[in-house]
Amino acid sequence: MTGHIATLLIVVVCHIFAIECLSSGAPDGACVTMTPNPSQYGHGAAPQTTLAPYTITVSPANLTMPGEITVTIKGSSNTDTMQGILVQARGEGSTNTTGTFSTMSAVKPLSCPSGTAQGAVTHKATLGHIKTLTLKWTPSQPGMYNIWFTVVKVKATFWVKQKSDTIYYTMPEITTMDSSMTTMHSNMTTMMTSMSTMPTTPTGSGSAMITASLGSIMIMIALMVFV
């Protein structure tokens, strides 16, 4: 009888260990809902509806391309640790993943059916009750974005689809040189339009005006070539 009890205890302990420590991350099917399946992977519960004891920060939230965003997910207290994580970058109002997360030692890319190949990451194995996770994310094009995450505290306690502040990723502003060239082009267009309204055989002051205008145009062209 004692031998049977010992065998049973070993089986139960191994089963618990497998549930707690051998998770290989969120499945591809969780990309859109970002919600663990209660009947799979030992979760056995619905998502928490209370305020998540985790915060997410993005820095900088306003960035001119090219550039990289630092994403930090952190527990509110020493007991608010993370065993599992699913993180995604999405465009404003979209469910498709976008951009590229840098591959970190604790996470791996998740192959979501819609979006970029590295626009989502999940834990490679149980995170080991870490309190803070820092990731790097690079947007693929200008736009407005949010970072979404689902975090597992323990198997049956998890919060889904938590969202960061909006990230604004913009094109560089027009430089002073570009602005000057635009003004010069506009002036040349105005001068050419004025010349087109002059008599076809000008004399006197009309001829002098055309000569001066042509001289100005030549100077502008020279500046455009050598700038």
Q: For residue 51, count other CB atoms closer than 10 A to its CB.
A: 9
* Least confident piece of the model among 54-58, 87-91, 215-219: 215-219
Query: Dihedral sign, CA of 168, 171, 175, 180?
Result: negative
| % of the chain at pLDDT higher than 90 | 32
Shortest CA distance to 91 belongs to which of 167, 154, 195?
A: 167
Cα separation, 118 vs 112, in Å, equals 9
- Strand, helix or coil for residue 47: coil
Separation CA 204–CA 77 (nearest Å): 88
* Residue 23: band (very low, low, confident or very high) from pLDDT cuts 50, 70, 90: low
Helical pair 176-196 and 205-226, crossing angle rounded to 10 deg: 150
pLDDT band at 133 (very low <50, low <70, confident <90, very high): very high
CA 58 to each of CA 47, 96, 102: distance values in angstroms, whole numbers, following the listed order: 24, 19, 15
The partner residues of 191 in beta bridges, in order of sequence, read: none
Residue range 60-67: mean pLDDT, rounded:
90
Kindly report the average pLDDT of the chain as a whole number. 74
Given this model, what pLDDT does residue 155 score? 79
Instruction: Choose from 6-15, 43-52, 80-89, 127-136 the range with maximum mean pLDDT.
Output: 80-89
Long-range Cβ contact pairs of 16-25 (< 8 A, separation 24 or more): 19/155, 20/83, 20/126, 20/155, 21/125, 21/126, 22/125, 22/126, 23/83, 23/84, 23/123, 23/125, 23/126, 24/124, 24/125, 25/84, 25/86, 25/107, 25/108, 25/110, 25/122, 25/123, 25/124, 25/125
Q: Please report the pLDDT score of residue 62 as a whole number.
A: 93
